[in-house]
């Protein structure tokens, strides 16, 4: 039987220590590492780029992007959705149509994605560019939606511990977070040149640069709009004593992440990708751990983390093939690494297509897996997160 959350304490009763004690979503070390490790990667990449003078289109940026994808798991975590529903089968039956949506719908999205990308690469380059831009928009929406979801889980964690609930102002801004941030971020990456240098193009070029793009100076307009939203959010988070400190840290950190993306989208994409991958890895690890009622479950403890890494291994191999470090190996082996991988090109191309298909299928499945507005979904899912 689910345990009801403890009633919120009155402002005068809430001890100051409640702001942080027991309110971390995973643990103090995990929650802070998820934010700090990608930030350190970003700083190291920017420092290396400035040291070599190569800017944001050189080797340092490629290293940062690759690390966020394959070390911080943004490009590999996508398969974990299917490990979760395959081993915790009750998640497939939270609603009468859940299994058909997750299995049938995800399979259809996978096949459609692979087919369209293959056709675009082989016969329609403009279609391939448009598909790439569409995947970019979906990826940004998926990432921001996860932020909103974990923001809500922070609120539930604090509520269960007796902290005051989210204010109406914070709830309103929480609802608007995804559409506002998504609009600003996509305008920045699809419509504005990356820099103000003559001839600079948007981060994602789908032909719009040839016909002209919006002036780079509009970056500061986008940042000002986000600044107004951020200021309102800071005021909304100034609640009564006892408010959740970890929730404030989490939300304000992601406000800063969006600001970094608006100003420096190529570098900001490294930051957002790294945080997203680590968040999803820890979230899935928590969901995979058995509940106290699942006493006979064999997948528990270290086996959970081992199973996740094993399932991600094929995508990690694809990442190694596309690693920027291949060029370093070439320098020692006189191009032997590239020659070897070129001979396997059909296999690697198929693997990349399949990986993109899994990515889109993962977006689709996640959209239905965490529908917390449905009571039965909350009843099944929240206990797996320790919030039953």
Total count of residues recorded for the chain: 388
CB 251 within 8 A of CB 166: no
User: Would you state the pLDDT for residue 13?
Assistant: 46
Residue 295 token pair: 């006493």
Q: What's the DSSP call for residue 90? A: G
Q: List 193's β-bridge partners, or say none.
A: 202
User: Would you state the pLDDT for residue 328?
Assistant: 66
Residue 30 has pLDDT above 70, yes or no: yes
Q: What is the pLDDT averaged over residues 321-340?
A: 68
Q: Counting Cβ atoms within 10 Å, is residue 202 exposed (0-12), middle (13-18) or buried (19+)?
A: buried
User: Would you state the pLDDT for residue 80?
Assistant: 94
Q: What is the pLDDT averaged over residues 354-363?
A: 91
Q: What's the DSSP call for residue 194? A: S
pTM: 0.89
User: Would you state the pLDDT for residue 335?
Assistant: 64
User: Would you state the pLDDT for residue 332?
Assistant: 61
Backbone angles phi, psi at 334, to 5 degrees: 55, 45
Residue 20 — very low, low, confident or very high, per pLDDT cuts 50/70/90? confident
How far apart CA 253 and CA 26 sit, in angstroms, is 16
Task: Say whether 13 sits in a helix, a strand or coil.
Answer: coil
Residue 70 token pair: 């394959």
User: Would you state the pLDDT for residue 153?
Assistant: 92
Helix residue spans in the chain (DSSP H): 28-52, 59-70, 80-87, 98-99, 106-123, 125-160, 168-191, 218-237, 245-263, 265-288, 302-321, 326-333, 336-343, 345-369, 375-384
Lowest model confidence (mean pLDDT) among 38-52, 130-144, 363-377:
363-377
User: Would you state the pLDDT for residue 270?
Assistant: 96
Dihedral angle computed from the Cα positions of residues 269, 272, 273 and 275, in that order, rounded to the nearest 10 degrees: 150
Residue 130 token pair: 């448009």
158-174 per-position pLDDT tens digit: 888 877 888 899 999 99
Residues 6 or more apart in contact with residue 24 via CB below 8 angstroms: 30, 31, 157, 246
Q: How many of the other CB atoms lie within 10 Å of CB of 190?
A: 19
Mean pLDDT of the residues in the chain: 86
Residue 205 has pLDDT above 90, yes or no: no
Residue 8 — very low, low, confident or very high, per pLDDT cuts 50/70/90? very low
- The dihedral sign for the CA sequence 125, 128, 133, 134: positive
Q: What's the DSSP call for residue 165? A: P
User: Would you state the pLDDT for residue 7?
Assistant: 41
- The dihedral sign for the CA sequence 142, 143, 147, 148: negative
294-321 per-position pLDDT tens digit: 888 889 999 999 999 999 998 888 888 7
User: Would you state the pLDDT for residue 37?
Assistant: 97
Q: What is the pLDDT averaged over residues 75-94?
A: 91
Residue 213 has pLDDT above 60, yes or no: yes
Residue 287 — very low, low, confident or very high, per pLDDT cuts 50/70/90? very high
CB 318 within 8 A of CB 90: no
Lowest model confidence (mean pLDDT) among 85-99, 136-150, 202-216:
202-216
**Percentage of the chain surpassing pLDDT 70?**
87
Lowest model confidence (mean pLDDT) among 70-79, 338-347, 355-364:
338-347
User: Would you state the pLDDT for residue 172?
Assistant: 95
Residues 6 or more apart in contact with residue 348 via CB below 8 angstroms: 318, 321, 322, 341
- The dihedral sign for the CA sequence 357, 142, 47, 223: positive
Q: Counting Cβ atoms within 10 Å, is residue 27 exposed (0-12), middle (13-18) or buried (19+)?
A: exposed
Residue 366 has pLDDT above 70, yes or no: yes
Q: What is the pLDDT averaged over residues 30-40?
A: 96
């Amino acid at each position: 039987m689910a345990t009801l959350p403890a009633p919120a304490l009155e402002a005068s009763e809430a001890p100051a220590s409640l702001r942080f004690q027991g309110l971390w979503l995973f643990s103090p070390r995990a929650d802070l590492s998820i934010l700090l490790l990608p930030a350190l990667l970003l700083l190291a990449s920017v420092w290396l780029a400035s040291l070599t003078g190569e800017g944001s289109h050189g080797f340092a940026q490629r290293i940062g992007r690759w690390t966020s994808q394959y070390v911080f798991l943004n490009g590999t975590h996508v398969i974990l959705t299917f490990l979760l529903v395959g081993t915790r089968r009750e998640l497939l039956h939270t609603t009468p149509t859940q299994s058909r949506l997750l299995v049938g719908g995800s399979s259809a999205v996978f096949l459609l994605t692979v087919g369209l990308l293959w056709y675009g690469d082989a016969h329609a380059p403009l279609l391939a560019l448009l598909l790439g831009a569409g995947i970019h928009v979906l990826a940004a929406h998926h990432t921001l939606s996860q932020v909103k979801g974990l923001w809500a889980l922070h609120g539930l964690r604090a509520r269960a511990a007796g902290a005051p609930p989210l204010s109406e102002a914070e709830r309103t801004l929480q609802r608007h977070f995804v559409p506002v941030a998504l609009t600003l971020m996509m305008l920045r990456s699809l419509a504005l040149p990356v820099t103000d240098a003559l001839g600079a193009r948007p981060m994602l070029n789908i032909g719009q640069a040839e016909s002209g793009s919006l002036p780079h100076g509009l970056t500061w307009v986008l940042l000002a709009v986000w600044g107004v939203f951020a200021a309102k959010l800071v005021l909304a988070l100034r609640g009564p004593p006892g408010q959740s400190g970890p929730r404030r840290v989490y939300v304000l950190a992601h406000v800063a992440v969006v600001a970094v993306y608006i100003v420096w989208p190529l570098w900001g994409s490294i930051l957002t990708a790294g945080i997203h991958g680590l968040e999803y890895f820890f979230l899935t690890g928590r969901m995979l751990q058995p509940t106290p009622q699942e006493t006979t479950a064999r997948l528990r403890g270290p086996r959970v983390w081992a199973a996740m890494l094993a399932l991600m291994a094929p995508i990690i191999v694809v990442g190694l093939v596309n690693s920027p470090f291949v060029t370093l190996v070439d320098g020692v082996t006189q191009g032997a690494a590239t020659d070897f991988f070129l001979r396997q090109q059909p296999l690697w191309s198929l693997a990349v297509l399949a990986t993109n298909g899994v990515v889109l299928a993962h977006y689709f499945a996640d959209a239905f897996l965490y529908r917390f507005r449905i009571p039965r979904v909350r009843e099944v899912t929240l206990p797996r997160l320790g919030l039953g």
